[in-house]
Amino acid sequence: MASISIRNLVKRYGNLTVIPDLNLEIADHEFVVFVGPSGCGKSTLLRIIAGLEPISAGELFIGDRRVNGVPASQRDIAMVFQDYALYPHMRVYDNMSFALELRGTPKAEIDMRVKRAAALLHIEPYLDRKPKELSGGQRQRVAMGRAIVRNPKAFLFDEPLSNLDAKLRGQVRAEIKALSQQLKTTMVFVTHDQIEAMTMADRIVVLQNGTVQQYDTPEAVYERPTNQFVAGFIGSPAMNFFPVELQGEQAVFAQDGSAAPIDAESSSRLRKSGKAVLGIRPEHFAVAGDAAAGATVTVKLVEPLGSDTLIHFDLAGAAAIARVEPSLRPKVGDRVTLRPQPAHIHLFEAESGTVLR
């Protein structure tokens, strides 16, 4: 159990700078998820924390200890790898007891801890098997078991769910979250799946090109994204974006000059820069009976999900999606009037993508 502190971290591979300058404070007991598109540096950052990659510049602390030059074997962290990386020649039991044995833990205690972890993860029947005799889901559990038998300063997970089928993924996701609440240990979890990030994290680190775009709670990242990248990355289906500009006192869609229904507060923000990108999440459209109350669009595609219905349409030259009541089942070609809920409109600077506040 320890905090993790990253200060002015730089990571280069030869001439390629993967992480230009990164600062991050992870509190003790916190469950932090690194999320971002493939290649943004999530694994690199995690491996740096683990001690599997050297640092090019900057400082890394685990607890109060500066661990820059400390090898992975002496950092006292546990890691679950994407391919599970079980020891192929060892039985499940030995896979789990290995780290404890290396630390000279007494046999009786090893046995107690392995059995307890196995019970927690429902892998008791497999303790005598070799990894190749297990299914993917079982291997994943063993990999977690190998981590939790120890009492490490922190758990690191590198996309541990990506090789599981969708149903199992949801189940294990919930289990990991429950486990984290039970274990009360600092956890860093890497994923490219924003749903995993939203559902599990105490705080989310959204990464792009090795830089932190936003570091905040799931609610804050969702409701108050700091820039257009975060807004577009978090949430599914993704936030809709439309270029807008001010014409006189009126906000209009830049593409076709039709009126953008923006409230006074948003207008005043728009006034600062003259033009911007308007962002609105699919669920923040309301269906209006009155054509004057919003934008009237032609339905291109309807996806009934049961819990709600997705309507695809074009607005102001951009493809967009609205999430509406499940009872609402318009047909392709129908005209529907949609009104963005003013309180949920985001405005981003056109060039930088930074949110306008």
Partner 1 sequence: MTDAPTTDRWIRWLNTIQLVIAGIIILTPTAWMVMSSFKPSFEVTAYPPTLIFSPTIQNYIELTRTTPFFNYAINSMIVTVGSTSLGLLFGIPAAFAVSWTRISWPAILTLAARMAPGTLFLLPWYVMFRQVGLIGSYTALILSHAVITLPIVIWVLLPSFDSIPRSVFEAAQVDGCSVTRILWRIAIPLVGSGIAVSAILAFVFSWNYFLFALVLSNGDTKTLIAAAFNFVGEGSTQWGALMAAATLIALPPLLLAMLVQRWLVAGLTLGAVKG
Ligand X SMILES: Nc1ncnc2c1ncn2[C@@H]1O[C@H](COP(=O)(O)OP(=O)(O)O)[C@@H](O)[C@H]1O
To partner 1, the closest distance from the beta carbon of 199 in angstroms equals 26
To partner 1, the closest distance from the beta carbon of 83 in angstroms equals 6
To ligand X, the closest distance from the beta carbon of 166 in angstroms equals 21
Query: Can you state the percent helix, strand and coil of the chain, rounding each to 5?
Result: 30, 35, 35
43 binds Mg ion (CB under 5 A): yes
To Mg ion, the closest distance from the beta carbon of 352 in angstroms equals 27
Q: Which of 61, 58, 34 is nearest to 153 (CA)?
A: 61
Q: What is the DSSP string of 212-274?
A: EEEEE-HHHHHHS-SBHHHHHHSSSSPPEEEEEEEETTEEEETTT-PBP---HHHHHHHHHHS
Under DSSP, the state recorded for 342 is G
Output the residue with the shortest Cβ distance to ligand X.
Answer: 43
Q: What are the distances in angstroms from CA 274 to CA 159, 240, 318, 347?
A: 42, 20, 20, 11
132 binds partner 1 (CB under 8 A): yes
Pinpoint the alpha helices (H) of the chain: 42-50, 92-102, 107-120, 136-148, 166-183, 194-200, 218-223, 228-233, 264-273
Output the residue with the shortest Cβ distance to Mg ion.
Answer: 43
Residue 253 carries which side chain, given as an amino acid letter? F
Residues 46-85 that bind partner 1 (CB under 8 A): 50-52, 71-75, 77-79, 81-85
Cα–Cα dist 53/24, whole Å: 17
Near Mg ion by CB under 5 A, which window of 43-51, 93-101, 262-270, 318-326?
43-51
Near Mg ion by CB under 5 A, which window of 38-46, 48-56, 162-170, 293-301?
38-46
Is the CB of residue 246 less than 8 Å from the CB of residue 274? yes
Residues 10-49 that bind ligand X (CB under 6 A): 13, 16, 18, 36, 38-44
188 binds ligand X (CB under 6 A): no
Q: Please provide the size of the chain in residues.
A: 357
Pick between residue 158 and residue 196 the one whose CB is nearest to partner 1.
Answer: 158
Pick between residue 208 and residue 267 the one whose CB is nearest to ligand X.
Answer: 208
Nearest-10 crossing angle of helices 107-120, 92-102: 130
Is the CB of residue 232 less than 8 Å from the CB of residue 268? no
Contact with partner 1 (CB under 8 A) among 2, 99, 161, 254: 99
Joined together, the tokens standing for residue 143 give 């990999």
- Contact partner at residue 41 from partner 1, ligand X, Mg ion, none, CB < 5 to 8 Å by partner kind: ligand X
14 binds partner 1 (CB under 8 A): no
Pick between residue 18 and residue 276 the one whose CB is nearest to ligand X.
Answer: 18
Query: x-or-dash pattern for partner 1, window 145-184, by CB under 8 A?
Result: -x--------------------------------------
Residues that bind Mg ion (CB under 5 A): 43
Residues near ligand X (CB under 6 A) = 13, 16, 18, 36, 38-44
Q: Which residues of this protein are in contact with partner 1, per CB under 8 A?
A: 50-52, 71-75, 77-79, 81-89, 98-99, 102-103, 131-132, 146
